Amino acid sequence: MVKLYEVKIRLCTPTILTRRHRRNIFEVLTKPLSIPSRSIRGALIDSLARELSIKYGISKTSCLSNRGKREECDALIDEIMDPVLRIRPAYLVMRGKETEPASPFVYIKKIKHPREKTLFTRITVNELSNIMSIDELAEIIPPVREGYPKSQHGELIIVYDGEIEKVDIYKSRHESTAINRKYYIAEKGMLFSYETLPAGLEFVTTIFDPDDLISRIMNKIDTDNKLEIFLGRGRSRGFGKAIMELKEKDIEKKIDKRAKEIARASVYILKALSPSLKIVDGQYSKPYIENVRYPPSDLKSPELGIQEAELNIRKIQITDGERPFVVGSLMKISGWSTSFEGSGPIPRYYAGAPGSIHVYEVHSVEPERALAYIELTGLDELSPNGFNWFKVITTKEVI
């Protein structure tokens, strides 16, 4: 049976969530500050495997490598090999409200006058929905010149009563050195510097579990829906300890409530909460998905009851034709595969950065319900791996 969980993650110790490094310096990137889906999945699987190993008196490695001995361990191995859990990127909670990445239409004033807002947006949902050409769009985007407002695209923001505030997080820096295993002295040239997030920060996310994986395993272990997890680097040095609290929610009630908020429209404005891309022939990528049928193949079961829809990206007129209506910036996706079949570099893809705006036409019997489901499950088959997660911007919200 399908399950939906609202998840809170509270950092108990300083945490090293690095996104880039320069030589021996690992820095936290706050553009935007979030915990990627794949990090949450790995931490959850690690925690469940550790609890199972304690219950059955086996090693965690044995639980995640030997098939056929424990049904729960087999389920975790299946999740590693072929992800089913759909986990939205976790964003920071400030003063009881969830933060989000800023769109390209959020600007900061270079010179602030008394009683003026520092951050502002130049366009509403209705105005953006009516734009049909690049010339109309250019009229609302200020030129990139000295003294003009600067876009805060990708920065972490929070919206209170229609007013936008930028979120700045204090980060501390820690130094450590590698130890020579033979002589037990500091290894020359192996001094590392890490930026850490402070303990006490709280992140929220959702987990859509179509196969009821989590509750099947949680029922086998002694837990009160709270798990001890570890995030990021430096676990052996005491970094990255966190508490994950899972609370089951009624899917239908949540979908009904969100569908009423979205309401029916001719086009819909979607903001990316994760990198967005479409991989073409496994070789190159586009930073947007032009046409997509929802739900993806792994969510088509009638038992899930997901509203079907076809999403087509709106085209905007330019001088020599038309282009997909997507506004944002690019980011590079690359890394290293450590799958069971072998390891090696993975291709480099270009994706739309979090905060990018995608304008879609949605064809469905109940498009608002389909969009409510998309917010909980992600848009396509790449969503279990942390890509193509979107938030629908309603007419009452700030772009």
Q: List, for residues 184-198, the tens digit of each pLDDT value.
A: 887 777 777 778 888
Rounded to the nearest integer, the mean pLDDT of the chain is 85
Report the pLDDT averaged over residues 221-229: 87
Distance CA 56, CA 31 (A): 42
- Residue partners of 153: CB distance under 8 A and separation at least 6: 101, 102, 103, 104, 106, 328, 329, 353, 355, 356
**The pLDDT of residue 151:** 84
Decide if 15 contacts 239 (C-beta within 8 A).
yes
- 230: pLDDT confidence band, cut at 50, 70 and 90? very high
Q: 3-state DSSP call for residue 256?
A: helix
Residue 251 confidence class, pLDDT cut points 50, 70, 90? very high
| Predicted pLDDT at 142 | 67
pLDDT band at residue 377, thresholds of 50, 70 and 90?
very high
Whether domain 3-99+153-249 has CATH 3.30.420: the reply is no
- Reference 229, options 57, 60, 50; nearest CA is 50
What percent of the chain is predicted at pLDDT more than 70? 89
6: confidence class by pLDDT, cuts 50, 70, 90: very high
Q: Supply the pLDDT for residue 42.
A: 92
> If we measure between CA atoms, which residue out of 165, 71, 174 comes closest to residue 119?
165
Closest CA to 399 of 82, 40, 124: 124
The residue behind tokens 């038309």 is 322
DSSP bridge pairs for 251: none
Rounded distance between C-alpha atoms, residue 192 and residue 81, angstroms: 33
pLDDT at residue number 116: 58
Please state the rounded mean pLDDT for residues 279-287: 84
Structure confidence at residue 340 (pLDDT): 44
Contact 392, 270 (CB under 8 A): yes
Encoding tokens for residue 118?
A: 């520092």
pLDDT of 176 strictly over 80: no
pLDDT at res. 253: 94
pLDDT score of 8: 97
Q: Which position has the higher pLDDT, 383 or 26?
A: 383
Q: What distance in Å separates the CA atoms of residue 136 and residue 156, rounded to the nearest whole number? A: 27
The lowest-confidence range among 50-64, 76-90, 145-159 is: 145-159
Delimit the CATH 3.30.70 region(s) of the chain.
3-99+153-249
For residues 332-359, average pLDDT:
73
Residue 339 has pLDDT above 80, yes or no: no
Tens of pLDDT, residue by residue over 300-317, are 888 888 989 999 999 998
- Asked which of 85-94, 113-122, 161-170, 380-389 is least confident by mean pLDDT, the reply is 113-122
Q: Is the pLDDT of residue 152 over 70?
A: yes
**pLDDT value of residue 269:** 95
